[in-house]
Amino acid sequence: MQRVIGVRLVGVLLPALMFAIGTRGDEVKGMIMARSGDTMIVTGSGGRTTVVLNTNTRVKDDKGLFGLDKQEMADTILIPGLKVKVEGSSDSEGKFVAETITVDGDDLETSAMIEAGLHPTAEQVAANVVAIEGNKKGIAANQQNIAANQQAIAGNKEAIASHSHQIQKNINDIQENTDRFNRLDDYDVKAEATVKFKVSSSTISNEDKEELKKLAETATGLNGYIVEVKGFADSTGRAAMNEKLSEDRAKAVVGYLMRECTVPVWRIVAPGAMGEFQPAATNENAAGRGENRRVEVKVLINKGIASSQR
C-alpha cells in the first residue's frame, strides 16, 4: 500500500518539478567588459553577451551565511571589470534582458580600487619581502651553531617557504587584475569638465554649475554615452577625512547632473572617491592645493558598443 502511495506522489510531484525547472530564466556569468548607459557587454565562458538593463532590473549582493542576506544595490555599481551573474531572457533582437544581477561586494571593492590605479596587494608583497630577508638573517646567525639551533633553522625554512608562496600568490593576483583591466575596450572622451571646491567644502560654485550644464548638453546629443565622475581632495588633514570629502564632492556633482541637467542615473558610472591620490598639482602651496580640491567629469563613448551599433 505504501509503495502505491509513493508512486502516486511521484506522479503528481514530478510534472510540477519539471514545470518549475523549465520556467526558470536563462543565466549569464562573466565579467563586465564595457558599459554604455543601459547596455553592458559581459564576457564569460560562453563568449560575449550584450546585456540590456531596464527599470525592472534588480541589482543585489548576496551576503551573510549561505548568501541569505540580500542587499539591494543601484545599477551605478555595475562598472567595467566587475564579475556578475545575470538572470533574465533573450529578446527578439538577440540581446539578453536582465531581470536580476548578482554581484560580489568584495569583487566590487577590488574593481573600484584597481580602476582608480591602486594595487592593494603590492603592499603585502613588500611586507613579505622584508619578512623573508629577516628570516634569511636569522638562518645565517644560527649557522654558527648548527647542532644547537637545527630546530630553529628548520622552522625558519618553513617560514621562508610560506612567505615565498604568499609572494607568488600576490604577484599572480596583481597580474590577473592588471590583465583584467587591460582587456577592457577603450573609451573616447567626448567632453570633460573640472569642478573646483573651497577648503572643506562640497558646494558647487555658480560658474561650475554653468560648465556642468554645457557638458550635459553635449552628452545628451551623443548615442550610448556614459558619464564618469571622480572626486579628489588635497593632502590637508587626515586621509580618511579627505576620502570622505572627495566622495561628498563627487556625489554633489552627480546630484546636480541628475536634478538640474536631467542626466539619467543609469548614464552615470558609480562615482569614485580618490581622496589625496592622483594630485593634479603640488600640495606644498595654496595654489596647488586649490587645484587638487576638484571633481573631474568626463563624457565617454565606448568604442566596442559604438561600432556594434553601426
Longest dimension (CA), the chain: 91
Q: Which domain covers residue 14, as residue numbers?
A: 2-113
Both 238 and 169 in a single domain? no
Both 173 and 256 in a single domain? no
Both 206 and 192 in a single domain? yes
Domain boundary among 182, 202, 223: 182
- pLDDT tens column, 206-220: 999 999 999 999 998
Provide the residue type at 138 as one letter: G
- pLDDT tens column, 74-101: 888 788 888 999 999 988 888 899 999 9
CB atoms within 10 A of CB 88: 22
What integer pLDDT is reported at residue 11 of this predicted model?
47
| Confidence at 288, pLDDT banded by 50, 70, 90 | very high
Across residues 249-261, what is the average pLDDT? 95
What integer pLDDT is reported at residue 267 of this predicted model?
92
What integer pLDDT is reported at residue 18 of this predicted model?
36
Both 129 and 200 in a single domain? no
Show the cell assigned to 33.
567588459
Both 158 and 203 in a single domain? no
What span, in angstroms and rounded, lies between the C-alpha atoms of 256 and 274? 20
- Examine the pLDDT at 163 and tell me if it is beyond 80: no
What span, in angstroms and rounded, lies between the C-alpha atoms of 103 and 74? 11
Domain boundary among 72, 96, 113: 113
Domain boundary among 130, 154, 182: 182
- Total number of domains in the chain: 3
Across residues 103-132, what is the average pLDDT? 61
Both 272 and 207 in a single domain? yes
Both 275 and 177 in a single domain? no
In angstroms, the Cα distances linking 269 to 29, 35, 41, 112, 298 are 21, 9, 15, 11, 10
Both 195 and 301 in a single domain? yes
Both 273 and 204 in a single domain? yes
Place of cell 584597481: 114
Both 104 and 7 in a single domain? yes
Nearest residue to 271 (alpha-carbon basis) of 247, 292, 293: 247
Give the pTM: 0.45
- pLDDT tens column, 181-195: 444 457 889 999 999
